[in-house]
Structure 1
Amino acid sequence: MKPLSLYIHIPFCKRKCSYCDFVSVAKPFSFQETYIDALINEMRLQAAISASHKIDTIYIGGGTPSFLEESLIEKLLSALSDNFCTDFVREYTFECNPESLSPQKLEILKKHGVNRLSFGLQTTDSSELELLRRSHDFETFIGSFKLGRDHGFKNISVDLMFALPSQTMSSLSKSLEDIISISPEHISCYSLIIEEGTLMNKWVNEGKVTPVDDDTYVEMYRYIVSHLENHGYHQYEISNFCKDGYESLHNSAYWLRQNYLGLGVAAHSMIDNKRFSNTDNITNYINCLDGGNLSVEEGSLELLSSNDIINETIFLGLRMNRGIKLKELPLEALDKVDGLVKNKLVEIEEDRIRLTQKGREISNTIFVELMTD
């Protein structure tokens, strides 16, 4: 059977972060329970997919899954194992925010086979946390991280953001040192992207904050890569670093274009080169599932063409340090490879092409150059 990665979207947060453009809202317990009931209905309707696929990874993200109360986490995870065969799951990730974790929640996660935690830290600097409108401080994070270790979690990932307005090399270095000192197995480092419709975008337009310039971004990125490498975290993807053997299996499934099924509002799926997505309206999502229907967005069902597959292979596969096979490039792209090699943006090793560190810094430009029309 083909491997299948399962993603479940929990759209609830204590409050909206200033940079976030995901579907996430602050809602009371009664609304959350109604949503979880709809999500369980979707599981029942989609359970047949797992009959022809082997579920390899599960990722519960958001939003803030750990914001759910204990009873709803129990209800959600019980329904997952009732509707899908989880016997062969290698990686089972649950996203957490430091301020919303408890011993009781961790016990529920362990009971249901969750074996990986992903913490949204972003920075250890208090003024930067305030700018991002995060609901925790570094001390709260340390307490939650230790709680995870005390409950036997041996695979923990931590998110770090860089290229923040007002962030300095000194504060970035301090955040990195703080994270390295507690020795998580995996670190994701994402540059701030100021998205339309976010509070951060509003502040930029009003002149209240100033985005970092390209030179500062490159300087910070190079420093992160070098510093993490020196402390035993190898880069395996543009934004992801880990100790040996702790690459994210779930995210790697996306980059390798393996099948994935997304459940929940605004979740996306790709099964055997058919792509589709759920509505991004929470009320519509709930109403559809209450009526016994899937909430697939009208017009979102798409059978990928051969060009689509080639282009996705390029811009997803080249994100990974391992790169892709040369034969996966279209003929017109092969004509451009010599120039990219000459400019030290890509390198060829045996039958594979991969980005150099210089290439990763301008990866989107290279993807566009290599993709086919």
Structure 2
Amino acid sequence: MMTINKSIMRKQDQNPKPLGLYLHIPFCTEKCNYCDFLSFGGVGNDRQGQYVNALVKEIEYYGKEYHNKYYVDTIFIGGGTPSILEVALIAELMAAVRANFHVLPDAEITMESNPKTLNRYKLNRYFDLGINRLSIGAQSLDNDLLAFLGRIHRAEDFLESYQAAREAGFQNINTDLMFGIPGQNMECWLDTLKKVLKLMPEHISFYSLQIEEGTPFFKMYREGRLEPIDDDADRDMYHRAVELFYREGYHHYEISNCGRPGYECRHNLKYWSMDEYLGLGLGAHSYLEGARFSNAERLSDYVEASRVSENKSTSPFIVWYHKNSRQEDISEYLFTGLRKREGIDLDDFEAQFQQPIEEIYADNWHRLKAFIESGYLVKTENRLYFTKQGIDISNTILTEFV
């Protein structure tokens, strides 16, 4: 039996597969009013350093298991606000990843940032460390809206950081923008869009504000002190943005993302294509070898797991593990794939699941067919995708596949 296993391992080693790495940095200067992400404000340098040490331990743990099975073609350092860390800690993380995984020379390496936490020194060092894609959270270029959102930066900080990033050598910059904010009108939204488009970033992510439970905005909403924006106004802002992006030569490749041709986010495409990725850090999620799993969400638990990781044959970081069933894979394939503007490849779908989509969803195909006949979905010989109108009710349609 041992001989057979070694033989299989050697075969796997000869055919490594692509893997995306996500590294979660859960620290911020302070939490924004809308944020329900797993992050903390006001954590000191000592605690941040302790966390990075734990994260390095996790990198080392999985490196032993996956170094020969996978090559890394995308890395995404997200948060939180990764740029809040001292540069030496980012350098430590990058060194650990490269020492424990085979990172391709042309790997896409993204780091999220808040404009207020950037400076020229940091940007130059990030670029020297091989980080080649910078995501800057602008959200808005209206200072009153930024204050309302609880952002620590002003529009001027974003503009200065963007220019400094260009001067540091970054040729792949994403800008995060938010619409549907209470108090935001179309004029304000278009002003932000036009100012950002003048900068010609390679990629723009644009999201509608969601009022999530557990946030200051949710408390204000429950108390009647916050009135969400009208749905029609929200949708108008979305479609006006898409029109402007198309006019400026951007490829609207996913519901909330557009990029210049060739600058689509390779890492995020893994999520929407059910490709494999490994999440590292507090609360990080993974999809690997047909299973989904996630890490501890309490900082003390995560740090403690790192202390015993060297002596464990199974990961001490994982608190939830689920092996997908065939039906779950089918549902996730459709749920994530339909977020892409090109939709899903029906030939690939049938090849993977050995049945055409009409057979798998025979019981409710009449309802899906009604969405096609109503102009919300388009089904060609080999593709299924949302129309412009279908995007607006995409959540309703997607529930048919779950």
Same fold (TM over 0.5): yes
Check whether the contact 2:71–2:104 (CA below 8 A) recurs between aligned residues.
no
> By how many angstroms is 1:115 displaced?
0.8
Q: Which moved more, 1:12-21 or 1:42-51?
A: 42-51
In structure 2, what residue type is equivalent to 1:28? G
Check whether the contact 1:55–1:88 (CA below 8 A) recurs between aligned residues.
no
Residue by residue over 1:38-71, the C-alpha shift from the partner in whole angstroms, topping out at 9 and shown as x without a partner, is: 0000011110213201111000000000000122
SS at match of 1:51: coil
**What does 1:118-197 correspond to in 2, within 5 Å?**
118-197=135-214
Which residue is 2:264 aligned to? 247
Which residue is 1:206 aligned to? 223
Which residue is 1:30 aligned to? 46
Q: TM-score, normalised by structure 1?
A: 0.96
SS at match of 2:72: strand
Which residue is 1:271 aligned to? 288
> By how many angstroms is 1:227 displaced?
1.6
Structure 1 ranges of 4+ moved more than 6 A:
none
> By how many angstroms is 1:205 displaced?
1.3
Work out whether 1:308 is the aligned partner of 2:328: yes
Check whether the contact 2:272–2:337 (CA below 8 A) recurs between aligned residues.
yes
Q: Give me the whole-angstrom Cα distance separating, in 2, the residues matched to 1:323 and 1:256.
A: 10
> By how many angstroms is 1:89 displaced?
4.7
Check whether the contact 2:29–2:84 (CA below 8 A) recurs between aligned residues.
yes
Q: Which moved more, 1:102-111 or 1:16-25?
A: 102-111
Check whether the contact 1:347–1:356 (CA below 8 A) recurs between aligned residues.
yes
Q: Give me the whole-angstrom Cα distance separating, in 2, the residues matched to 1:49 and 1:191.
A: 37
Structure (1 or 2) with the larger CA radius of gyration: 2
Check whether the contact 1:58–1:89 (CA below 8 A) recurs between aligned residues.
no
Which residue is 2:6 aligned to? none
Which residue is 1:318 aligned to? 338
Count of equivalent residues: 370
Residue by residue over 1:223-266, the C-alpha shift from the partner in whole angstroms, topping out at 9 and shown as x without a partner, is: 11112111212210000011111100000011000000000000
Check whether the contact 1:73–1:105 (CA below 8 A) recurs between aligned residues.
no
Unaligned runs of 5+ in 1: none
SS at match of 1:6: strand
> By how many angstroms is 1:297 displaced?
4.1
> By how many angstroms is 1:164 displaced?
0.6
**What does 1:344-363 correspond to in 2, within 5 Å?**
344-363=375-394
SS at match of 2:252: strand
**For 2:26, which of 1, 6, 11 is the aligned residue?**
11
> By how many angstroms is 1:290 displaced?
1.9
Give identity over the alignment, percent: 40
> By how many angstroms is 1:335 displaced?
4.0
Which residue is 2:397 aligned to? 366
Check whether the contact 1:165–1:211 (CA below 8 A) recurs between aligned residues.
yes
Check whether the contact 2:70–2:102 (CA below 8 A) recurs between aligned residues.
no
Residue by residue over 1:46-102, the C-alpha shift from the partner in whole angstroms, topping out at 9 and shown as x without a partner, is: 102132011110000000000001221222222221222213452110111101112
Work out whether 1:331 is the aligned partner of 2:354: no
Check whether the contact 1:73–1:108 (CA below 8 A) recurs between aligned residues.
no
Q: In 2 relative to 1, CA 88–50 (structure 1 residues): closer, same or farther, beyond 3 Å?
A: farther
SS at match of 2:46: helix
Check whether the contact 1:35–1:286 (CA below 8 A) recurs between aligned residues.
yes
Q: Give me the whole-angstrom Cα distance separating, in 1, the residues matched to 2:48 and 2:305.
A: 16
Q: Give me the whole-angstrom Cα distance separating, in 1, the residues matched to 2:345 and 2:361.
A: 13
Which residue is 1:102 aligned to? 119
Unaligned runs of 5+ in 2: 1-15, 350-356
Q: Give me the whole-angstrom Cα distance separating, in 2, the residues matched to 1:164 and 1:52.
A: 45
Q: TM-score, normalised by structure 2?
A: 0.89
Q: Give me the whole-angstrom Cα distance separating, in 1, the residues matched to 2:68 and 2:367.
A: 43
Q: Give me the whole-angstrom Cα distance separating, in 1, the residues matched to 2:318 and 2:111.
A: 26
Check whether the contact 2:73–2:104 (CA below 8 A) recurs between aligned residues.
no
Check whether the contact 1:12–1:65 (CA below 8 A) recurs between aligned residues.
yes
In structure 2, what residue type is equivalent to 1:244? P
Check whether the contact 1:276–1:296 (CA below 8 A) recurs between aligned residues.
no
Residue by residue over 1:305-330, the C-alpha shift from the partner in whole angstroms, topping out at 9 and shown as x without a partner, is: 01100100111000001111235332
> By how many angstroms is 1:174 displaced?
0.6
SS at match of 1:55: strand
Q: Give me the whole-angstrom Cα distance separating, in 1, the residues matched to 2:346 and 2:95.
A: 44
Residue by residue over 1:246-289, the C-alpha shift from the partner in whole angstroms, topping out at 9 and shown as x without a partner, is: 10000001100000000000000111211110011111111111
SS at match of 1:236: strand
SS at match of 1:265: coil
Q: Give me the whole-angstrom Cα distance separating, in 2, the residues matched to 1:284 and 1:173.
A: 45
In structure 1, what residue type is equivalent to 2:124? E
Which residue is 2:235 aligned to? 218
Over the aligned positions, Cα root-mean-square deviation in angstroms equals 1.4
Check whether the contact 2:173–2:202 (CA below 8 A) recurs between aligned residues.
yes
Q: Give me the whole-angstrom Cα distance separating, in 2, the residues matched to 1:214 and 1:87.
A: 44
Q: Which moved more, 1:156-165 or 1:65-74?
A: 65-74
Q: Give me the whole-angstrom Cα distance separating, in 2, the residues matched to 1:218 and 1:138.
A: 24
**For 2:56, which of 31, 36, 40 is the aligned residue?**
40
SS at match of 1:301: strand
